[in-house]
Amino acid sequence: MSHRIMQLIPAIVSMAVLVFSTEVHAQVAERKTLTLAGAEKVLAAALSEARRLKTTGAIAVVDDGGNLLALSRIDGTFAAAGRISAGKARTAALFKKPTRAFEEIIGKGRTAMIALEDFTPLEGGIPLTVDGQIVGAVGVSGAASAQQDEELAVAAAAALSAPASPRAEAPVTIVPHDKVAAAFQRGSPLLEVADYKVHASHRSGPGQVEIHTHDTDIIHVLKGEATLVTGGTVVAAQTVQPEEIRGTSVQGGEARQITAGDVVVVPNGVPHWFRDVPGPLDYYVVKVRAQNGSMP
């Protein structure tokens, strides 16, 4: 039975992630953000291509709001190139188009565009795209020609969208059945890693009220039954260690009968209390760590 239950643990973790990711995604749209590390990767690619071509140039990288993240000017590049490259990058990011397109439009007579504020319609600005989303832009100025400005920017942008090197797979953990049985006798953890923990828990009577401020509990009952109270106001609440609150009882809340085979998901921050435990109760608890103090 222990082997079968251990096989269920990944499914329980996945279910918790699905439950909370669905709720969060219904409220906000997922948006990718260009980090400083990403900007530096783009900058490094442009500098590498400039060295290969033995040319000068200034390279600027901005986020999707046009805010400068990184800037570098190769020795021998004229001083104004830094400001011009930043302008190209900002224009490409805010208008979500290569700046060459605007230079061509103006060249065909639509000169009124020049009056736009903070607008640099010169070839050499390229949007940065990740999974179809524009996350910023790179601008280059001061290379051997305007065409080479754009060539450097294109090479830099390609570096960001290039697939990352395959990451080594996380190790698979197998807990032998004898250790599982011993853990239930002691009521001790089976596995503790950064993002989640697996506890083998045993009760023969009621316990304290618990609140985990950062961990969501996914409880799978193996044997026995109990009355579980969730929510309400904790009586005599006190912090026993960081992110852990305990109390003696609960005022209000919702009482539920749980029995072997049941799975209960208790979000972080929700009081929960095994109020009545008439006999031995064995259950797994998978503790999923919330990111940045929010729901998983």
CA distance 165 to 191: 29
pLDDT at 3: 53
Question: What three-state secondary structure class fits 109?
Answer: coil
Cα 154 to Cα 98: distance, rounded to the nearest angstrom? 10
**What pLDDT was estimated at residue 286?**
92
Domain at 2-26+176-293, CATH class: mainly beta
Residues in contact with 281: Cβ distance below 8 Å, sequence separation at least 6, in sequence order? 202, 203, 204, 221, 223, 224, 225, 226, 274
pLDDT tens string 59-100 = 999 999 999 999 999 999 999 999 999 999 999 999 999 999
> Given this structure, which CATH class describes domain 36-161?
alpha beta
DSSP letter string over 223-261?
A: E-EEEEEESSEEET-EEEETTEEEESEEES-EEEEEETT
Span 35-64, pLDDT tens digits: 999 999 999 999 999 999 999 999 999 999
Q: How far apart are CA 117 and CA 160, in angstroms?
A: 28
Nearest Cα residue to 206 out of 269, 268, 286, 272: 272
C-alpha to C-alpha distance for 52 and 77, rounded to whole angstroms:
16
Angle at 48 between CA 155 and CA 135, to 5 degrees: 45
Residue 176 CB coordination number (10 Å): 11
The full length of the chain comes to 296
Q: Which two tokens stand for residue 203?
A: 């009760």
Residue 116 has a pLDDT of 84
| Domains of the chain, residue spans | 2-26+176-293, 36-161
DSSP 290: P
Write down the pLDDT at residue 296: 45
Render 53-90 in DSSP notation, one character per residue: HT---EEEEEETT--EEEEEE-TT--TTHHHHHHHHHH
DSSP 163-176: PPPPPPPPPP----
For the chain, residues with pLDDT lower than 50 are 292-296
Per-residue confidence (pLDDT) for residue 292, from 0 to 100: 44
- Angle among Cα 121, 127, 128 to the nearest 5 degrees reads 160
Measured on CA atoms in the order 186, 187, 190, 192, is the torsion positive or negative?
A: negative
Residue 174, pLDDT score = 87
End-to-end distance of the chain based on CA atoms, in angstroms? 29
Residue 203 sits at the vertex; the CA angle it makes with 185 and 175, to the nearest 5 degrees, is: 40
Sign of CA dihedral 222, 226, 229, 234: negative
> Do 2-26+176-293 and 36-161 fold alike per CATH?
no
